[in-house]
Amino acid sequence: MAQIIDGKAVAAEVTEGVKTAAEMLKAQTGMQPGLAVVIVGEDPASKVYVANKGRTARACGFLSVEHALPDDTGQEALMGLIDELNGDPAIHGVLVQLPLPGHIDEGAVIQAIAPDKDVDGFHFTNVGKLGTGVTDSAFVPCTPAGSMLLIESVLGKDLSGKNAVVVGRSNIVGKPMFNLLLAANATVTVAHSRTKDLPGLCRTADILVAAVGRPQMIKGNWVKPGATVIDVGINRIAAPEKGEGKTRLVGDVDFDDAAEAAGAITPVPGGVGPMTIAMLMVNTIVAAYRSAGRTPPVF
């Protein structure tokens, strides 16, 4: 049976480190790290995410600011708020919760955030830095950054000689994951819906990262014996065994099946999920240190 990679435990360790770094920065410079989160509309899942981000930020000793805007907020008003936050010296990280309502140009909003406050890592400047291997000054998207820490917790920082397969090519997870694995010296293949013989390709992977958004797609016989499996997917499926109309969360990997073959595997929930918010805190503390002209801590 595979080792279960405990994302909650690793995330707790990371956020404790962030809290210590925030205390040191305040003691040395008087500066309190500041994170501003903007949410437009009433999407229930987004509201839960924003509340969790705010709670964790406050626990880390940050100034946590939330701007909740009505669903009919116009593009101009949203861009004006981002411009204000870009210029506010008390705010070091700016995050706009996605998805945005359909009438707003999401891409334009993301690119309006100042690159040095772009703690989601979606601005073209940060994407370009990551893509060209300048990982020390790039803000890396939080989910792949957290996934890398979980991989390192099992295999260490140098992945030389390891074959990695990333299933999914999104800008938010798949592509940055490719760049991070490559920077750690793994040999990386990105697979997707057009890939020929996906199960066969997955079986070559010492590190298998699933980020496709299809519940329990990756089966145990897709997994190379002893592989490290990172399941980024969060899918809600019917759970009639819990009662009528009940649901449960599953990943993109068939956990019970894959755990028989894998050497180490992340559960859903409790794997990659907690790491995403932890890495948002890391990016914010790094932004604050840079703003103060200090060398940022390394996590």
The CATH number for 102's domain is: 3.40.50.10860
Residues 33 and 70 in one domain: yes
Q: pLDDT in tens for each of the 299 residues of the chain? A: 899 999 999 999 999 999 999 999 999 999 999 999 999 999 888 999 999 999 999 999 999 999 999 999 999 999 999 999 999 999 999 999 999 999 999 999 999 999 999 999 999 999 999 999 998 899 999 999 999 999 999 999 999 999 999 999 999 999 999 999 999 999 999 999 899 999 999 999 999 999 999 999 999 999 999 999 999 999 999 888 888 889 999 999 999 999 999 999 999 999 999 999 999 999 999 999 999 999 999 99
Residues 84 and 177 in one domain: no
What DSSP assignment string belongs to 267-294?
A: -SSSSHHHHHHHHHHHHHHHHHHHHTT-
Question: Domain containing 76: what range?
Answer: 28-114
The verdict on residue 123 lying in a domain is no
Residue 229 has which token pair? 């499996």
Residues 151 and 267 in one domain: yes
Residue 157: its pLDDT value, please? 96
The verdict on residue 158 lying in a domain is yes
The verdict on residue 15 lying in a domain is no
Beta carbons of 169 and 193 less than 8 angstroms apart: no
Residues 68 and 192 in one domain: no
- The annotation places the binding site for NADP(+) at 168-170, 234
The verdict on residue 253 lying in a domain is yes
Residue 193: its pLDDT value, please? 86
Residue 161 has which token pair? 């000689």
For residue 4, report the phi and psi dihedrals to the nearest 5 degrees: -85, 120
In eight-state DSSP terms, residue 118 is: B
Number of domain units in the chain: 2
Residues 156 and 263 in one domain: yes
* Rounded Cα–Cα distance for residues 7 and 4 (Å): 9
The verdict on residue 21 lying in a domain is no
CATH code for position 176? 3.40.50.720
- The annotation places the binding site at 168-170, 234
Catalytic residue among 116, 117, 118, 120: 120
Residues 261 and 162 in one domain: yes
Q: Is 53 a catalytic residue?
A: yes
Residue 233: its pLDDT value, please? 96
Residues 95 and 174 in one domain: no
Task: Write b or e for each residue in 155-172: b if 16 or more Cβ atoms lie within 10 A of its Cβ, otherwise e.
Answer: beeebeebbbbbbbbbeb
The verdict on residue 299 lying in a domain is no
Residues 190 and 227 in one domain: yes
Q: Which residues contact 178 (CB under 8 A, 6 or more apart)?
A: 166, 188, 190
The verdict on residue 296 lying in a domain is no
Q: What's the angle, vertex CA 231, arms to CA 3 and CA 147, rounded to 5? A: 85
Residues 264 and 180 in one domain: yes
Residues 161 and 110 in one domain: no
Residues 110 and 148 in one domain: no
Residue 290 has which token pair? 């840079």
**CA-based R_g, the chain, Å:** 19
The verdict on residue 170 lying in a domain is yes
Residues 221 and 156 in one domain: yes
Residue 242: its pLDDT value, please? 84
